[in-house]
């Protein structure tokens, strides 16, 4: 059986304007690889309701899982929850279990539970909550769309609780072989190697160190035997590597 597929939707004007460096997709991509979920697309969009709605419908419809990051906080521009609810045709409102989680979180810290903070208890009908052990405010899963915070440490905590509960497949395994040779000089041989091992993905990644050109060759596959055979062939083709 093929691995489940996924897309990541990063939501936030702060990413598109360069104010914030995006790292959540990078983190989640590594987790998904280990869990056997094949990431097919990463998209970054603005805090615009029609754009979010259209992207959620498209990506959730084309993949087994859609993961979103950003836009579920307490302020006026946190519109992701409403947009996702509309994308799936769900009513959204304050839900008692989410409200209780937030009330307990703020009471334990002696912090006032304001109307703005109550916004974070608004959950689409039928959604399952995603635990947030860092700041209390839960994310949620509605159908195959998993909606999480944009703050990196909160996002990572949500991912840690969510992904192990999802059905995965075979983890993608990779092996690296480094050559101090320019990428263009080995392109023909690498093309032949890829043709000889169609079940393995080969990538070449050039670098420069101390004024010398080099290339990292990476072989990837979910089948360990196929990867081992391809990697042996790679080493034999470029014996000067390491």
Distance, in Å, from the CA atom of 179 to the CA atom of 187, rounded to the nearest integer, reads 13
pLDDT band (50, 70, 90) for residue 6: very high
What residue segments make up the domains of the chain, in order of their start?
Answer: 5-165, 173-237
Specify the DSSP class assigned to residue 185.
Answer: G
Distance, in Å, from the CA atom of 190 to the CA atom of 187, rounded to the nearest integer, reads 5
Q: Average pLDDT, whole number, for the chain?
A: 96
- Note the pLDDT of residue 242: 84
CATH topology for 5-165? Molybdenum Cofactor Biosythetic Enzyme; Chain A (3.40.980)
Q: Which CATH class is domain 173-237?
A: alpha beta
CB 223 within 8 A of CB 229: no
- Note the pLDDT of residue 241: 87
- Note the pLDDT of residue 1: 83
pLDDT, one tens digit per residue, over 164-189 is 999 999 999 999 999 999 999 999 99
CB 89 within 8 A of CB 29: no
pLDDT, one tens digit per residue, over 87-113 is 999 999 999 999 999 999 999 999 999
């Amino acid at each position: 059986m093929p691995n489940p597929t996924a897309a990541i939707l990063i939501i936030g004007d702060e990413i598109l304007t360069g104010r914030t460096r995006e790292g959540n997709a990078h983190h989640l991509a590594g987790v998904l690889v280990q869990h056997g979920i094949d990431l097919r697309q990463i998209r970054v969009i603005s805090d615009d309701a029609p754009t979010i709605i259209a992207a959620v419908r498209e990506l959730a419809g084309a993949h087994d899982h859609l993961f979103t990051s950003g836009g579920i906080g307490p302020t006026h521009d946190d519109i992701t929850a409403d947009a996702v609810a509309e994308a799936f045709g769900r009513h959204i409102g304050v839900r008692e279990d989410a409200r209780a989680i937030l009330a307990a979180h703020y009471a334990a810290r002696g912090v006032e539970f304001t109307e703005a903070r109550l916004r974070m208890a608004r959950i689409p009908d039928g959604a399952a909550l995603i635990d947030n052990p860092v700041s209390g405010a839960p994310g949620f899963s509605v159908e195959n769309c998993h909606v999480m915070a944009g703050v990196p440490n909160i996002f990572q905590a949500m991912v840690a609780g969510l992904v192990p509960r999802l059905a995965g497949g075979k983890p993608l395994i990779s092996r690296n072989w480094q050559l101090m040779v320019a990428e263009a000089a080995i392109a023909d041989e690498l093309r032949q190697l890829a043709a000889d091992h169609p079940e393995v993905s080969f990538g070449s990644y050039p670098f420069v160190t101390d004024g010398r050109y080099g290339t990292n060759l990476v072989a990837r596959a979910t089948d360990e035997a196929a990867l081992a055979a391809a990697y042996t062939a790679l080493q034999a083709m470029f014996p000067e590597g390491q």
